[in-house]
Structure 1
C-alpha cells in the first residue's frame, strides 16, 4: 500500500507539472510561452515566419527569399506583411505571446531600443556581415546595452517629388526656398492643379513633411545641434516659424486632407491632378508600379535663403531582427546573415529602387543616385524620428497629433510648440 501511495503521488505530480508548463502566461520581458514545437526530423525543412509593414514589397521579397532558399533548401521563409498603421500592435502581440514570428522588421532608433530593452530580441553582433555595416546606420538598431539587434534595411530620404511635365507646361521652375515654393504653389492653383498632394489621416505624414519644410525656417544642422545641446527649444521663434509654415501650406493641400489616406494622395500625384508630393524616397517603387511613365524628379529640403544649403533629409528605415522566442535560432541567424550580405543589398536596391544600408551596394536608379549625391553635398536628420522618438507617448507622436489638432483648428501654433516641448522635457537630456 505504501508503494502504491508513493506511485500515485509521483504520477499526480508529473501531471500537475505538465499542465502548468502548457498553460503559462506571457512573460514580462520576452520569454517563451506555450508548448515547445516538436523539432523537425533531420533534413525536414524548417519554416521561419517573417513580419514586415511593407505590403508593397511582397512580390520583391518572394524573389529575395527564393534566392535564399536555393542555397538553403532546408529553411523556408514565409513573408507576412500588414498595414504600417497596424504593424506595431500585431508585432507587440506576437512578441508578448512568444509565438507566431521569427524574423521581425523593427522600427528604427527608439523603436528598436524599446523592444530590445524589453528582452524580446536576440543580439546579432556575432553574425557574419553585421559589423561591416556603417556604425552610423547600426546606431538605429541597437539596444541601451549598445548591442546590435537589427540589420539596417535601407537609407531613406524625405523629398519633394514633382511632376516635370506639369512644371514645364506651366513654365515653372522647381522651388529651392520657402518663398519660391509659395510662388509656385500659387501659380499651380491658378491652373486648377493641386500644388501638393498631402494626406493627414496618418499623423506621421505631417512630421515627415515638416522635416522637409522645417529647415527653411530654422536652418539645418547648426540649429539641430543647438536643440540637442539644450541651447534652443521647440518654443523658440525659429521652430514656431516652421510650424507656421506648415499651417500656411494647408491652403495648397487637397481639400479635407486631414481625412484622406496616403494612397489617395499618391493617386492625386501619379494621375497628374497634383504637381508635388512630399514623402520618403521609398515611394519611387510605388510610382514605378502605378505609373511607370510618370515624368518625376525630386527636390531635397528647402534652403533658408536663396543660394543656401538644400539639405537632404535622411534616416535609417528600420531593420530586421530575430525574435528571442523563435524555435529555430540557428536557421534565423542564417537568414539574417543573408539580409546583411551585399547580394541581398544589391537585389533590394535594384528591385525596389532604394538605397541599401549594406556597404558596397551601388544604386542603379538615377533618382536614387541623385539622392546619394545630394546627401553627400548636404544632409540633415529627420528630426523627430532620429532624435525625439522617445517618451510615452513619444515627442514625435505628440508633435504629430498636435499638428493634426492645428489643422482642424482645435489648437494654435503656440500650443503645438508648447506641447512638443513639454513632452521632450519629460525625458530628453541635452548633450553636454
Structure 2
C-alpha cells in the first residue's frame, strides 16, 4: 500500500478543516433583528420596500418589522423591556417619553456610530440627553394648510401670506356661502394644538425663542406673545363648520376631500388621505404676522430608532442603524411614506409633488418643534395635555384666551421648577 507523506497528511487535514469551516459558514443562520414600532400603517413600507433593500446589501442580517397599535405601544414596550425582553430595535418617541426611557436604561449610547455625523445637533435633540445620543433620527413631519385649488380659483382667492390676509380669505369664503372656510373640529383636542395653535403660534412667540424661554423660565404663558397666539387661534372660530364641537379628525379630512371645505389645517402625515379622492390640492404654510415678516414652520421630530440595551445582537443592530443613517434608506422611506421628511443633511428627492411642496415651505422659514413636548410635559399636569384640553374648552365655550393662558401657567408653575415663583 502506498504510504501518505507527512506533508500530504497536513495538506489533506488543512483542506478538511477549510471545508468544514466553509460548510459551517454556509449553514450558519443569519442574525435576525426585531424592530418595534407604533406605525402599524407602515407595515407594507418596511416589509415590501425598506427591509428588502437592507437585506439585499446585508444578507447575513434579517430584520422583522413588529408594529404595535399606537395607543398601546408605550406601555407594551415598557412591559417587555422591564421583563428583560423587547425588540432589538426600538422606534423612539421624541423628547419627554424618550428621555424617560433613556433614564430607565432602555437604550445604548450611539455616540461614535458611523452615519450619526449626517445629523445636526438640532436634528438629534429630541433623542439626546446629557450630551449623548440614543436614537438615530428617521423622519420629521410638518404642519400647514391644505387648500382646494379649484375653490380658490373659483372664488378668485390668493394664498394668504399674512395673518390679516388669512382671516380675510376665510371671511371671503364664508361670505360666498358655498363652502365651509375651515375643515376644523373640536372633538379631538390633540389636533387643535398640533394643527392649530402649534402651527400659527410660533409667529407670535418667535419659535425657538418662546419655546426655549418657557423651558428656562424666562418666558411665561401669560406673556403677551403667547396670549396673542391663543387669540389668533380663537379667531378661527367663526369659520368652523356647523356642529364643529362633534367633528372628529377623520370627519375634517372627509369634509375637505369631498370638496365641501376650502382649507384643511393639517399635517404632512395626512398627504395620502387628503389626496385620495383626486382633489386638486395645494399647501401653504402658516402666515407671517405682517408683510415681509419672518415665517415659522412647525417641524416635529416624529420618530427615531434606538438599540435595546438588552439585545444580544447589538453589533448587527448598529450595522442596521448605520444604513438607516444613510441616503439609501432616507430616499426609500420618505417616498414610500410621503409626508415624512428626512432629517439628515444628505440630499433627498421627493417624488410626491405635494410632499415636495411641503418640503419647499421650509425655505426661508425658521423651524421649530411642537411647543410643549420637551420637558414641559414631564410632570403633572403635562402642559401638552393641558393645552389640548383648554383649547377644546375655548373653542366650545366663552372662555377667553387670557383665561386659557392663566390656567396653563398656573398648571405649569405648580410642578416645573424654572416656572415656579422665585
Which secondary structure does the structure 1 equivalent of 2:310 belong to?
coil
1:277 and 2:264 correspond: yes
Corresponding position of 1:164: 149
CA–CA distance in structure 2, aligned partners of residues 201 and 80 of structure 1: 31
- Change in CA separation of 1:337 and 1:286 when aligned onto 2, cut-off 3 Å: farther
Corresponding position of 2:241: 254
Corresponding position of 2:314: 329
1:125 and 2:114 correspond: no
- With normalisation by structure 2, the TM-score equals 0.81
Q: What is the CA-CA distance between 1:180 and the residue it aligns to?
A: 2.2
Deviates more, 1:336-345 or 1:201-210: 201-210
Larger radius of gyration: 2
- Change in CA separation of 1:100 and 1:232 when aligned onto 2, cut-off 3 Å: closer
Report matched runs for 1:398-409 at 5 Å.
Answer: 398-409=386-397
- Tell me if structure 2 keeps the 8 A contact 1:216–1:305: no
Corresponding position of 1:153: 138
1:310 and 2:299 correspond: no
- Tell me if structure 1 keeps the 8 A contact 2:94–2:126: yes
1:352 and 2:352 correspond: no
- Change in CA separation of 1:418 and 1:91 when aligned onto 2, cut-off 3 Å: farther
Which secondary structure does the structure 1 equivalent of 2:262 belong to?
strand
Q: What is the CA-CA distance between 1:363 and the residue it aligns to?
A: 2.5
- Tell me if structure 2 keeps the 8 A contact 1:177–1:216: no
- With normalisation by structure 1, the TM-score equals 0.80
How far does the alpha carbon of each residue in 1:131-158 deviate from its partner, in whole angstroms, 9 at most, with x for none?
A: 3322211111113x32211111123221
Report matched runs for 1:287-302 at 5 Å.
Answer: 287-288=274-275, 290-291=276-277, 293-302=278-287
How far does the alpha carbon of each residue in 1:269-326 deviate from its partner, in whole angstroms, 9 at most, with x for none?
A: 22222221222222224435x23x3322221122112332232222322211122233
Corresponding position of 2:17: none
Q: What is the CA-CA distance between 1:167 and the residue it aligns to?
A: 0.9
CA–CA distance in structure 2, aligned partners of residues 46 and 286 of structure 1: 37
- Tell me if structure 2 keeps the 8 A contact 1:300–1:313: no
- Tell me if structure 1 keeps the 8 A contact 2:381–2:412: no
Which secondary structure does the structure 1 equivalent of 2:77 belong to?
helix
Question: What is the aligned counterpart of 1:95 among 64, 81, 92?
Answer: 81
Deviates more, 1:255-264 or 1:302-311: 255-264
Q: What is the CA-CA distance between 1:217 and the residue it aligns to?
A: 4.4
Q: CA RMSD in A?
A: 2.8
Which secondary structure does the structure 2 equivalent of 1:172 belong to?
coil
Corresponding position of 1:375: 362
Q: Which runs of 5+ in 1 are unaligned?
A: 1-40
Corresponding position of 2:45: 60
CA–CA distance in structure 1, aligned partners of residues 417 and 237 of structure 2: 30
Deviates more, 1:65-74 or 1:248-257: 248-257
- Tell me if structure 1 keeps the 8 A contact 2:186–2:395: no
Q: What is the CA-CA distance between 1:115 and the residue it aligns to?
A: 0.9
How far does the alpha carbon of each residue in 1:72-93 deviate from its partner, in whole angstroms, 9 at most, with x for none?
A: 3343322233443443333333
How far does the alpha carbon of each residue in 1:93-142 deviate from its partner, in whole angstroms, 9 at most, with x for none?
A: 33333334222221112232121111111222232212332221111111
Corresponding position of 2:18: none
Aligned pairs, how many?
387
Corresponding position of 1:241: 228
- Change in CA separation of 1:313 and 1:149 when aligned onto 2, cut-off 3 Å: same
- Change in CA separation of 1:44 and 1:256 when aligned onto 2, cut-off 3 Å: farther
Corresponding position of 2:416: 427
